[in-house]
Structure 1
Amino acid sequence: MRVSTSAGYRPVALSLAALLGLAAVGSSPATGADLGAACCADLEERIAELESTAARKGNRKVSLTISGYIAHEITVWDDGRETNAYLHGLGPTQTSHVKFNGQAVIMPGWTAGYMLRLQDLTGNAFSGGPSAMNQNNPFNNAGLNTQMAFWYLQNEDLGKVSVGRLAHAAKSAAMFTDLSGTQIIDNYTFLAGFPQFTIRTGGDLSPAALTWGQLAFCYAQSLPLGGDCSGIVMNGIRYDSPAFGGFSVSASWGEDDFWEVAARYAGEVSGFKLALGAGYTEMRDEVITGGAVSDRKDTQFFQIGGYVQHLESGLFVHAAYGHENNNNTLLLNGRRAENGEHWYVKTGIRKAWTSLGATIVYGDFARYSDQLGPAALALGATSSTFDRFGGGIAQEIDAAAMTLYLKVQHYEAEISGPALSPTVADLEDADFISFGGLINF
């Protein structure tokens, strides 16, 4: 559901209520007494009902549309020694949220607008620190967060310029090409995963610092993102071109300093739905997001992804690749940041077999190579391979704008290094089975 406002909602409400009242009078015999207090009371009741469903706004020139979704999962996990069940969200960037969008026409061809997006980060399985969700802590309440807040100017022929806290040009350029209907619930990041879970070594939760996220670390933003190393919202300015034949380009800059460029394509060709995206990020700011792990940053991140779906059969393939070059950056713990890469493939079928909506059945595989975080490097690791196998089924319910899903993920990893303890090198596998739902409004 979307709630929109425009100028003069009370006169419109009065007019609608009056018409309804007249229609009611005209549809049955009435006497003069019937048109007294009962009629007016009914009109006032209808007006109050209409006003209660209208969003209030500060002026009559800029529209307001409210939208978003609520999403939660129940995950049963097994780390090789312990089994438990946690309830959590899809944080941080794809968690439950509400968006306030506004727009005003300046003159023909020119518009101005804004967007404010508030997130619910209760049950955030991604965040680290002392309150991180892991084997010893089932709940992490990071509260509400203002993820985005920006304004923009747009011209039909020249493009769009946005300023504020926003998604930058290359954000999720590869990941967002996934049009299967499962991108939010299952992708190659660890946003809805458990990167703060300690990897069991020889059955023990020791060393505690060796988490799954330490084998899927992105130095561009100092976070265990896995894939999509340029996927966090930041302050800056962004330009988006108009789409020409399905192609568009974007560029953005943010303080102190980073910049990004990206190109995208979306369209249909000979019965196939296609989507392509590529992006490049140059990150030199000392601290953008995450914790401070070095005195400076000198990271370049390249990503590319695509999606192909045969419309008649519903068969699809989505693939993504990313490479992070850290230029041997010296970390605060005296280690040097390694270069890392990751790739991902998802394949399956999307088909409306019932009247409820499309059913999506898929399998996926991700590999994260040498994405060693500061804690893993401090333990003496010099190389790593982290594989994630999985799959699932999702059912869209069109009448409720809802998706219900079940997904399975299996983690396994190997690390090596001349100074690495043999005990630390003996890593246990982990399994995660999640049932969840997402409802749009």
Structure 2
Amino acid sequence: MIGGLFKTTSTLALAAVAGLMVSGVSAKAADLGGDCCADLEERVAELEATTARKGNRKVSLEVYGQVTTAVMWWDDGYEDNVYVVDPQTSNTRFGFRGSARVTPDISAGYQIELAWQQADATKVREDNDEGADMPEFRQAHWYIKSETWGKVRVGFADTANSGIAEIDLSNASVADGMSSSQAGSAIMTSDMGGPAFGNYEFNRANVVRYDTPTFGGFVVSAAWGEDDLWDVAVRYAGEWGGFKIAAGIAYGENTDRNNGAGPSDDPAVEVLNGGLSIMHSPTGLFVTGSAGTRDADDFADEEHFWFVSGGIEQKWNSLGKTTLFGMGGEQEDSRDRTATFWGLGVVQKIDAAAMDLFVSYRHYELDGGTVGLFGPEDQFDTVVGGARIKF
């Protein structure tokens, strides 16, 4: 009898608790005006407006970037030193990009990218271990792309010849293995009175740029902007008989007074440059080359450069591919000053960390330079070793 009483009492208590819970939920629902979902949507919208997120509900957002730093030793025969530097070819940077599909054929998107260089390896020299160049906008544009008609970019973007002399199917360029990004080149120009290194690309500017769709591996590009800069380029990428091939050639003119051609107002500058890279896929053997000319109204003579590198790239260990390369080249300016260089390098990929370790050596010689503070300086050596990690 007593057990029956406990059983009856327990049943009544549970029923009472359940009733209270139902009434409490009903009261809370009433407090929300009977529309809890609408309130939740409002709260989500508030949070989205005050926090970083992966795009909105129509346009995507991707955050990307990399950090690249290195240690550079150099010796010009009169002074030697060690600096911590930021390599120029693949410098520290981060950016935002995204896109949205408008129709099955058309998409629209954007890209914003900045670079940070506390000590640009191409700008440090005997009396300056900073070489600061920060921050620098690399991209700030929107675009519309059609799979049928091509892509149009408007804003701060790559000109048509940007990257045309840096085409490289290997990973050697991570170690500044290109013609325009020679570590210590400010020592050549500022301390030794030699020519400035460059590959005559217009790089990035405020332009309108158009790229055709890919036809048989070919893409044609044209850009205009910056009172008045214009250029055109043709690029190719394909594979034949086990060989990967990438190539491009470009022509451009620039009458902007800030084009770096000389002291006169608005000197017309004409540039012709290009690059070629070939890799044998089974063996990893590769060769890369680039060359160009630049002529301005107030130049005494045309400027010229050429560059070549070659080596092998294979996955010999579990970490990732290893790139071994040698390189050489020449830079001649309008005053007949000539700088030549040769070097060696190695790059090791660390796939698990999206990382590249690199080290390279270069020897420079100058013909036609000025006399330095301690006598004629006509050669120097540099070694650069560091890492790049992407995110």
TM score, norm. by length of structure 1: 0.73
* Cα displacement (A) at 1:188: 3.3
Map of 1:404 onto structure 2: 357
Inter-CA distance 296–141: structure 2 relative to 1 (3 Å threshold): same
SS at match of 1:296: coil
Inter-CA distance 273–64: structure 2 relative to 1 (3 Å threshold): same
* Cα displacement (A) at 1:428: 2.8
Map of 2:384 onto structure 1: 434
Distance 2:177 2:252 in 1: 20
Map of 1:144 onto structure 2: 135
Distance 2:286 2:226 in 1: 39
- Residue 342 (str. 1) matches residue 305 (str. 2): yes
Distance 2:371 2:280 in 1: 50
Distance 1:343 1:261 in 2: 21
In percent, how many aligned pairs have the same letter?
35
Distance 2:374 2:200 in 1: 26
Distance 1:187 1:262 in 2: 23
Map of 2:247 onto structure 1: 276
Indicate conservation of the 8 Å contact 1:124/1:141, yes or no: yes
- Superposition map of 1:28-43 within 5 A: none
Q: 1:244 aligns with which of 211, 215, 220?
A: 215
Distance 1:422 1:409 in 2: 21
Indicate conservation of the 8 Å contact 2:229/2:255, yes or no: yes
- Superposition map of 1:263-342 within 5 A: 263-288=234-259, 293-327=263-297, 329=298, 336-342=299-305
Indicate conservation of the 8 Å contact 2:231/2:253, yes or no: yes
User: Which residue type is aligned with residue 82 of structure 2?
Assistant: A
Deviations, residues 90-113 of structure 1 (Å, cap 9, x unaligned): 23x631001201101111110000
Which has the higher Rg, Structure 1 or Structure 2?
2
SS at match of 2:172: coil
Inter-CA distance 178–240: structure 2 relative to 1 (3 Å threshold): same
* Cα displacement (A) at 1:140: 3.0
Greater per-residue strand proportion: 2
Indicate conservation of the 8 Å contact 2:229/2:254, yes or no: yes
Deviations, residues 298-349 of structure 1 (Å, cap 9, x unaligned): 111111211111111111110111111223x1xxxxxx44311010110100
Distance 1:414 1:266 in 2: 37
Distance 2:331 2:176 in 1: 16
SS at match of 1:196: helix
* Cα displacement (A) at 1:71: 0.5
Map of 1:164 onto structure 2: 155
* Cα displacement (A) at 1:423: 10
SS at match of 1:197: helix
Map of 2:320 onto structure 1: 357
User: Which residue type is aligned with residue 359 of structure 2?
Assistant: L
* Cα displacement (A) at 1:145: 2.3
Map of 1:203 onto structure 2: none
Indicate conservation of the 8 Å contact 2:174/2:347, yes or no: no
Indicate conservation of the 8 Å contact 2:90/2:176, yes or no: no
Distance 1:398 1:161 in 2: 34
Indicate conservation of the 8 Å contact 1:171/1:228, yes or no: no
Q: 1:229 aligns with which of 189, 197, 200?
A: 200
Indicate conservation of the 8 Å contact 2:77/2:377, yes or no: no
Q: 2:62 aligns with which of 62, 65, 69?
A: 65
SS at match of 1:184: helix
* Cα displacement (A) at 1:183: 1.8
